[in-house]
Chains A and B, each alone.
Chain A
């Protein structure tokens, strides 16, 4: 567990961090968020003493950090810096081995660990271990940065905009992988970002800062549903129902009860469709290759005509995908169902619009049950109706008439 107690950092006339207190329970992800210059990085760097607080205390597992030698402290806290900062003269493997070497590990101990970590962050160890940082793409460099921070298996991880400098698609993948790693490793994480969606997706708790002060510290749901101030409300954004979908994953609402065949369109007939909307086509390994649209089949066309061949990378989602992303994929494809595949494209099931709507309805009910006054500074007409639904109705209805459930 890590606790900040009334921590303040002053530079001459400017107070970068002003009396901030919060606690992060072990194994939880705390996301520090706020506008640029609000003191996120300063707060983070006071935890591993890269910056010394002017006043206040920081306690990790009962020990005041000021009582620990800075180098010692830092070797036991994983740190991913804002600009990646890989050592350009060292190979990927040497970069990852930095902290284990500082801790005096034997080569026989850290070598296998390095390879294991590269696999954990999704890099092929054989291919990347011997490369130098300048041979990596931005996303690969960020992965190595994360692997380097995890190398000595520190219980606490500080991450300063670790997925900042990459394109949205890569960022989405890195987030999904971070969420997976975190589920497996259960670190205590303090994570800085200024991307609200990222915070909502990854955080157990969000610390929203403004001008050095802590505005609100609570779960993402609470920040969305009970913003403590107009600033919090505005910062979290108006599309809160959609935002909430950014927290749920496909795995939570998908069904594995789908029809599939390895025999191509020949294996599909109108009768075999039964109630389902899609009959999926896979190869012998189960990799999604396409589908037959049962509604088109109903209209009297042959299975070949009703079949579509697709690339699963574009036409399917994965269990780690957020519902928000899944929804946007549905809108893009123009269907009310989308296939779920694993990372090699093997069909796992599907997720339907109705399942997503149920998730949204739970959130709506939650909001609807609140007394009006509780959403501070929010005009009632703006607060309640989920824009997402309007979007959905427009986007899907014209092409796909009936709803199958």
Chain B
């Protein structure tokens, strides 16, 4: 797929200025690094047909290499195209490069799954990260339009990233504070289970835009405006509720009755049973719920820009408004990165917090 992307689709687009429509260019404009990229992608393709034993590491290596070379090739392409062009000219990432990026990452992940060794995967990630940084620092990535948008927006950009994090964090935190106890109650009471889970599921189906509108009336009743951070956090918390509450409930309901019986028989009180037996056993699912909620909330937080809560959504909508695709990207890409980081952080938390006695592969 990466190979096809490189060869068939426009690799980058050259535009005379920021918003003008672009002229497609092939990968060859990147010169040497473009050819290297194609070679790496071809190797990745070959790796897929290797025997099972060597396939994992091969995919892992070629996938990561393709990703790094892609970054470097984009930089080179931008640099070459802008040689002698007016200062306001822009080089954007073309559909071919996007496809190549998706392909490279897919191959990388497939490789990491097939390899299955945490240590090898971690090593490859670190090397790729360092190589990526090196390309960013010494390569010509800065010549890309995306980077130029960043250069213009950099102070506001970080402010918005922070806002985005605060919004999502607050929404997620509130969702946990309410969702986990609700999940516990649901496992104790049939009424909470049927009614509570029902209501929370309905909330989940409300489209995010509609949710912001629907909140106007109840907030007004409480003397609050429907504009700004508070309603945004409330909306996000409501979305975080379902995965957290449902997973807490399912996790607790899944605890073996014999284990609970043993706890009671040993003389544990209700709270001791909950905190020493049930919660530790439900923890993998609870954390999984929080992880899903975190990814969800980071995405939905973009929409809250509409009610003046700020966040990266602002860049996206401004970009749309000005037809400046690269500004949109400047908002969208960091959101993806945030979501990926949140996901990774939760997986790490799970490794640290969940007893190896109940985690698959927890014992080596």
* Chain A residues at the B interface, C-beta cutoff of 8 Å: 48, 50, 70-76, 79, 81-91, 98-99, 102, 132-135, 148
Give the distance in Å from the alpha carbon of A99 to the alpha carbon of B263 in the complex. 9
Of B269, B272, B280, B355, the most chain A CB neighbours within 10 A belong to B355
Residues of A within 8 A of B264 (CB): 50, 74
The total number of A-B Cβ pairs within 8 Å is 73
Write out the residue numbers on chain B whose beta carbons fall within 8 Å of the beta carbon of A79: 262, 265-266
Q: Which residues of A contact B256 (CB under 8 A)?
A: 85, 88
The reply to whether A71 and B267 form a contact with Cβ atoms under 8 Å apart is yes
Q: Which one of A48, A72, A88 lies within 8 Å of B357 (CB-CB)?
A: A88
How many angstroms between the C-alpha atoms of A135 and B358 in the bound complex?
11
Which of B267, B272, B363 interacts with A135 by CB under 8 Å?
B363
Interface centre among B259, B266, B280 (most CB of A within 10 A): B266
Known: A73-B267, A75-B267, A89-B280. A81 touches B357 (CB 8 A): no
**B281 in the interface, Cβ–Cβ < 8 Å?**
yes
A-B contact pairs, 11 of them (CB 8 A): A74-B267, A84-B258, A85-B265, A87-B263, A87-B277, A88-B256, A89-B354, A90-B355, A102-B267, A132-B363, A134-B363
> Contact partner of A81 among B258, B281, B356, CB < 8 A?
B258
Chain B interface residues (CB < 8 Å from chain A): 256, 258-259, 261-269, 272, 277, 280-281, 354-358, 363
With A88-B281, A89-B281, A134-B358 known, 4 other A-B pairs at CB within 8 A are A70-B267, A72-B267, A86-B259, A134-B357
Q: What separation, in Å, do the CA atoms of A84 and B256 have in the docked complex?
A: 12
Interface of B is mostly: helix
Residue of B nearest to A92 (CB): B357
**A99 touching B266 by the CB < 8 A rule?**
yes
A50 touches B259 (CB 8 A): no
Q: Which 4 A-B pairs have the closest CB atoms?
A: A85-B262, A132-B357, A75-B267, A74-B267
A133 and B258 within 8 A (CB): no
Query: CB distance B355 to A74 under 8 Å?
Result: no
B265 and A50 within 8 A (CB): yes
- How far, in whole Å, are A102 and B267 apart by their CA atoms in the complex? 8
The answer to whether B269 touches A71, judged by C-beta atoms less than 8 angstroms apart, is yes
List B contacts of A76 (CB < 8 A): 267
For residue B263, which residues in chain A have a CB less than 8 angstroms away from its CB?
A: 87
Which residues of chain A come closer than 8 Å to B268, judged between CB atoms?
71, 102
Q: Is the CB of A102 within 8 A of B358?
A: no
* Interchain CB contact under 8 A, A99 and B267: yes
A48, A75, A85, A87 — which one has the most chain B CB atoms within 10 A of its CB?
A87
Cross-chain contact B262 with A86 (CB below 8 angstroms):
yes
A70 to B264, CA, bound (A): 9
A75–B266 touching, CB < 8 Å: yes
B362 nearest in chain A by CB position: A132
Given A72-B267, A73-B267, check contact A89 B355 (CB 8 Å). Answer: yes
- A48 with B265, Cβ < 8 A, contacts A84-B258, A85-B259, A132-B363 known: yes
- Provide the residues of chain B in CB contact with A133, threshold 8 Å: 357
Residue from A72, A85, A90 within 8 A of B261 (CB atoms) = A85
Looking across the interface, which residue of chain B has its beta carbon closest to that of A83?
Answer: B258
B274 to chain A: closest CB distance in Å? Answer: 13
Q: Which of A50, A70, A86, A98 has the most chain B CB atoms inside 10 A of its CB?
A: A98
The residues of A that contact B262 with a CB separation of less than 8 Å are 79, 81, 85-87
B265 — which chain A residues lie within 8 A by C-beta?
48, 50, 74, 79, 81, 85
Docked Cα-Cα span, A148 to B259, in Å, equals: 13
- Chain B residue nearest to A82 (CB atoms) is B258
Residues in B with CB closer than 8 Å to A87 are 259, 262-263, 277
- Shortest beta-carbon distance, A82 to chain B, in Å? 8
A85 to B337 CA separation, bound complex (whole angstroms): 43
Task: State how many angstroms separate the Cβ of A276 from the closest Cβ of chain B.
Answer: 53
Distance of B269 from chain A, by nearest CB (Å): 5
| Cα separation A134 to B360 with both chains bound (whole Å) | 11
B266 to chain A, nearest CB (A): 5
Q: For A75, what are the chain B residues with a Cβ–Cβ distance below 8 Å? A: 266-267
Name the B residues within 8 Å of A74 (CB-CB): 264-267
B190 to chain A, nearest CB (A): 19
Min Cβ gap A291→B in Å is 45
A72 closest partner in B (C-beta): B267
Shortest distance between the CB of B35 and any CB in chain A (Å): 52
A90 neighbours in B (Cβ, 8 Å): 355, 357
Q: CA of A82 to CA of B257 in the docked complex: distance in angstroms? A: 12
